[in-house]
Structure 1
Amino acid sequence: MSEDCVFCKIIEGQIPSNKVYEDENVVAFLDANPVSKGHTLVVPKAHVDTVFDAESMEYMWKPIVKVANAIREAFDVEDMNINQNNGSLAGQEVDHLHFHLTPRYDGSEIDISYNRSEPENADEVAEQIRSKTA
């Protein structure tokens, strides 16, 4: 646990939250500033800043799916964004790994836009990544 981390304080019960799920490794609670009804964060209890430090956290996936399905059933949600902002340039505001489960009701909840273009040197780029996964 990190003493100055707001999510660690929520996990420890020092800051109140609206928890919707908890097991030995993970806690899920409603976002304090939700984008839509049911917007939930799924957070590992162990403090790591980003996904780069999360190699041993494969246990995250089952709770994400479980909570996503619970939100879907509770609010009759058809669509949902599940995202993880990794680092400040990617929009991460709290330096504790977390996944956003954001229900979409009419599509206006989140405005996602990308400046996409044709890939340059895709074969070389793919090989550079492949060589680091071996």
Structure 2
Amino acid sequence: MTTIVQQIVSRDIEAVIIYESEQVIAFADHDPINYGHILICPKEPYESFIDLPALVHDEIQVVARDLYSRIVNKFNPDGISFIQNNGKCNELDHYHLHIFPRFDGDQFGWLSSDIGIQSIEVLRESLSGL
């Protein structure tokens, strides 16, 4: 089974491509948080962050840095967010890094679990041995 990203790479699915090289492609998210929401992906179907070869990872970071500046210049946002999901949270089954402009009042948010604010001691214990 080919991933959506592979279908974009092969031009079986139309996308607004912002960047493309031998190893990496970046394109507009079809369901954007805000205009300027871009996915940066390896062309090969690596599933998670840990699967990425170092050279591909490094190119994705260079592209993300460049797109950051371009998004700031184009949209003048209040901030920029990066999100990258793995495992069951990766709906595409293909590594992708979201980068998108943020604006006051855009209603994109972070919903924490019910564990609440933790003391330093609890956090230290929970991460011991990591």
Q: Residue 69 in 1 paired to residue 69 in 2? A: yes
Residue in 2 that maps onto 1:51: 49
1:79-90 → structure 2 map (5 Å cutoff)? 79-88=79-88
What is the rounded CA distance, in whole Å, between the counterparts of 2:96 and 2:107 in structure 1? 19
1:1-134 → structure 2 map (5 Å cutoff)? 3-56=1-54, 57-88=57-88, 91-115=89-113, 116-118=116-118, 120=122, 122=124, 125-126=127-128, 128-129=129-130
What is the rounded CA distance, in whole Å, between the counterparts of 1:123 and 1:74 in structure 2? 45
Judged with a 3 Å threshold, the aligned counterparts in structure 2 of structure 1 residues 69 and 63 are, in CA distance, closer, same or farther, namely: same
Displaced runs of 4+ in structure 1, greater than 6 A? none
One-letter identity of the residue aligned with 2:67: V
Count of paired positions: 124
TM-score, normalisation: structure 1 = 0.81
What is the rounded CA distance, in whole Å, between the counterparts of 2:86 and 2:79 in structure 1? 22
What is the rounded CA distance, in whole Å, between the counterparts of 2:37 and 2:67 in structure 1? 11
Q: CA deviation at 1:123?
A: 5.5
RMSD between aligned residues: 1.9
Secondary structure, counterpart of 1:43 in structure 2: strand
What is the rounded CA distance, in whole Å, between the counterparts of 2:11 and 2:79 in structure 1? 31
TM-score, normalisation: structure 2 = 0.83
| Structure 1 segments unaligned to the other structure (5+ residues) | 130-134
Q: CA deviation at 1:97?
A: 0.3
Residue in 2 that maps onto 1:132: none
One-letter identity of the residue aligned with 2:65: V
Contact 1:21 1:67 (8 Å CA) reproduced: no
Q: CA deviation at 1:61?
A: 0.6
| Structure 2 segments unaligned to the other structure (5+ residues) | none
Q: CA deviation at 1:87?
A: 1.8
